[in-house]
Amino acid sequence: CFPEKQGGCIKIPIRPLFLISSRKGLHRMKQSLDFPKPRLCPVTKVLYLYNIKFIYMSAKIHFRDYNPKQTVLFPQRLDKDIAGNDPVRVVDTVIDNLRLEQFHKLYKERGRSPYHPKMMLKAVIYGYMNNLYSCRKIESALKRDIHFIWLAGYERPDFNTINRFRNRVKEEINHIFTLLVIMLAEKGFITLDVEYIDGTKIESKANRYTFVWRKSTEKNRVKLMAKIKALLEQIDEAMAQENAQGDNGQNFTPSDLMAIADELNRSLREGPEPVTKEEKRHRKEKERQVKQLKEHAGKLDEYDEKLRILGDRNSYSKTDHDATFMRMKEDAMNNGQTKPGYNLQIGTENQFILDFGLFQFPGDPFTMIPFFNSFAERYHGLPDKAVADSGYGSEENYRFMEEAGIAAYVKYNWFHREQRMHYEPNPFSPQSLYYNAEGDYYVCPMGQHMERIGTARSKTENGYVTESARYKARRCEGCPLRGSCFKAKGDRIIEVNHRLDEYRRKARERLTSEEGIRHRGRRCIEPEAVFGQMKYDMAYKRFRHFGMDKVKMDFAFFAIAFNIKKMCSTMARRAINGGNCPKQNPITGIAIILYAKNQKNEGNSQNMAA
């Protein structure tokens, strides 16, 4: 009832409030009631509040049905909840189209039927794509992750089976990586014409403090040989001189020492029994010397075994004999501590891994030629262009690339210094002096001729011999520029490697050309980006196996997973942006369709899966 202006009341109809059964509807109803501003009479106010309380107390909450024990819990097709553009579909398509005939010879015809190698390969590679490098984690994913369950066809191999599979195919997996790269080249993702090369150090699984150093081993072996020589002289001077070989008996072998010890033991057994106290003391001393000689033989055998394992290296780890101690970029203590690891070299194009190699020495210059040989074995040819940083700019590498017909976009030591805006070369350096090729002489800043006096030869650690021409000034005494030119006694002598200077001149011309500038810009985002994604996005910072063969196997699996993951992201980006995709084919055509399909409904698919 509302009071009228003249007084009294009028009756207006009240809406049936009990028809509103939800809080949301109640809130809308309260907003829709357009009561006048004047105050309500007490009776109307009480009735209104009572109806509001009745509706609030009688509203019900409705939940979705929940029954985890129902008979049919999953849909008829398990891949219904897998997005059409999920990388697991690309992995399934790519592996199905690879030839795995070489895997069949690894299994026996009799016995229990093994798991299919395609299924095992798909599970391991997809695990590596999702940063699962442990066999136990892959086993757990095959039981819990719907993507792994669908990919494996509900097969459940345990971690031992997965590990045995990886070890069984450690030779063939490298061939699978090559087939994948060839497939990428055929479908337009890469060209194999240019290779961007770089390296990084990856830590081994070995213990960081089980090191063996060459210098300490050789020093201890020399000390041991001196002890052996002194001991032999004490035992029998005639026998020591008879069996000694080389200078001061330095070439004794453990077998020689054991033979001498056995001969002494036999002479002691066949000799008469000691009677007097002096004879007993003398016999006991001989027995002690023979025992000490056997101990020295065992220690000498240990040192020889360490030197055999070392080979040309300077160190190795006791828990992983193939690992060498190197300085890593990941230095938590920031003290330059060396750790056991391997030198990983990769070649990339469009951020796809074309080739990889693992080496036991830390230096990059000696890895380039073996790395090119590996590329030639994989693809039966060499790339047309090679791009690398100054760590590979050696005479041996330049010469190999020139003879192989490879355009070398490889920097040398001071290339960046020469490109600075305010760079001023040292006028007294050999590169700044005038050279007369016909007369084969240099001219110093004072105009004095420096004639050639000979050739200096040196050999690198890899066995390559370099030749440098030596030039000497006629007379430097009394020269006003002597203090700035050089400070040694006598006349100045310089050494110049003409072949290396010519290689550097050609490299400078290539690097400063328009194409060279483009390749220099690309090199920073090619292997460096791959290393960043590998170490930080995919958490692959340390090997999880012992031995060179198993480490190569592990990285081959990773390289295959990396390339497939990169292919998925490339196709997804091109499909979304509408760019030019690679040409259609039985493998990538299906993958592109899977990625391009339902791009507009991708958000809905993700909500449904969630």
pLDDT tens across 157-214, in order? Answer: 999 999 999 999 988 999 999 999 999 999 899 999 999 999 999 999 998 898 999 9
The residue with greater pLDDT, 505 or 419, is: 505
Side-chain-facing half-sphere of 553: CA atoms under 13 Å: 19
Q: Can you tell me the distance from the alpha carbon of 3 to that of 65, in angstroms, rounded to the nearest whole number?
A: 52
Q: CB neighbours of 538 closer than 8 A, spacing ≥ 6?
A: 131, 558, 562
**Angular region, 135: left φ>0, alpha ψ -120 to 50, beta rest:** alpha
DSSP for 294-341, please give it. HHHHHHHHHHHHHHHHHTT-SEEESS-TT-EEEE-S--SSSS--EEEE
pLDDT digits (tens, 9 = 90+) for 24-81: 554 555 555 444 444 556 656 555 655 655 555 556 788 888 888 887 777 777 778 8
Question: 117-129 and 159-168 helices cross at what angle (nearest 10)?
Answer: 100
Average pLDDT of the segment spanning 73-102 = 84
What global pTM score does this model have? Answer: 0.79
- pLDDT, averaged across the chain: 82
Side-chain-facing half-sphere of 374: CA atoms under 13 Å: 19
Retrieve residue 145's tokens.
Answer: 């992750």
pLDDT band of residue 237 (cuts 50, 70, 90) is low
Least confident range from 242-246, 437-441, 563-567: namely 242-246
